[in-house]
């Protein structure tokens, strides 16, 4: 897990986002336990409180559940909910890209061509 002190995004949010991505992509499966709060805090050299805040956020979003004395485990994920969350992430990323393109002075056509090229490139890498 890569954390950035200078990103402007709170550390707990970076942790929660990283786990959210891992859960939504299936890296963590239903019923699997996340690393212990203390263990993760030690590994990342951060406060236990920061780690706990990240886990609590994941719990509020319904991605994990706390088991007394055992830690946090991944909840079953509804496939429609997963798809919706992925769509939301795509929309956010594309909105950021549009804003950056506007700042850079790119036209809609240039942005579309760039997206198509990147999409094709990613497909080729998957093969």
CB 25 within 8 A of CB 17: no
CB 51 within 8 A of CB 37: yes
User: Among all chains, which residue has been given the structure tokens 């093969």?
Assistant: 127
CB 20 within 8 A of CB 81: no
Q: Are residues 28 and 60 in the same domain?
A: yes
Reduce the DSSP state of residue 68 to 3 states and report it.
coil
Please state the rounded mean pLDDT for residues 98-115: 95
Is the pLDDT at 20 greater than 80? The verdict is yes
> Residue 26: its pLDDT value, please?
83
Mean of per-residue pLDDT scores for the chain: 90
> Residue 62: its pLDDT value, please?
87
Q: Is residue 38 part of a domain?
A: yes
pLDDT digits (tens, 9 = 90+) for 67-91: 999 999 999 876 677 778 778 889 9
Q: Are residues 35 and 84 in the same domain?
A: no
> Residue 100: its pLDDT value, please?
95
- CA-nearest of 13, 24, 27 to 56 is 13
- The tally of domains found in the chain comes to 2
Positive or negative, the CA dihedral 120, 93, 37, 48 is positive
> Residue 76: its pLDDT value, please?
84
Separation between Cα atoms, residue 101 and residue 78, nearest integer Å: 34
Is the pLDDT at 95 greater than 90? The verdict is yes
Is the pLDDT at 22 greater than 70? The verdict is yes
Is the pLDDT at 117 greater than 70? The verdict is yes
Q: Is residue 20 part of a domain?
A: yes
What is the percent of the chain where pLDDT is above 70? 97
Q: Are residues 105 and 53 in the same domain?
A: no
pLDDT digits (tens, 9 = 90+) for 36-53: 999 999 999 999 999 999
> Residue 78: its pLDDT value, please?
66
**Neighbour-count burial of 19, counting CB atoms closer than 10 A to its CB (0-12 exposed, 13-18 middle, 19+ buried):** buried
Q: Are residues 55 and 100 in the same domain?
A: no
């Amino acid at each position: 897990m890569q954390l950035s002190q200078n990103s402007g995004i709170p550390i707990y949010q970076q942790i929660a986002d990283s786990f959210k991505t891992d859960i939504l992509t299936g890296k963590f499966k239903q019923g699997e336990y996340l690393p212990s709060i203390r263990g993760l805090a030690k590994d990342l050299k951060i406060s236990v409180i920061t780690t706990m805040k990240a886990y609590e956020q994941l719990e509020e979003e319904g991605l994990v559940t706390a088991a007394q004395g055992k830690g946090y485990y991944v909840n079953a994920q509804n496939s429609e909910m997963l798809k919706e969350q992925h769509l939301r992430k795509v929309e956010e990323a594309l909105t950021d890209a549009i804003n950056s393109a506007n700042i850079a002075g790119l036209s809609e056509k240039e942005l579309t061509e760039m997206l198509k090229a990147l999409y094709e490139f990613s497909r080729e890498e998957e093969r």
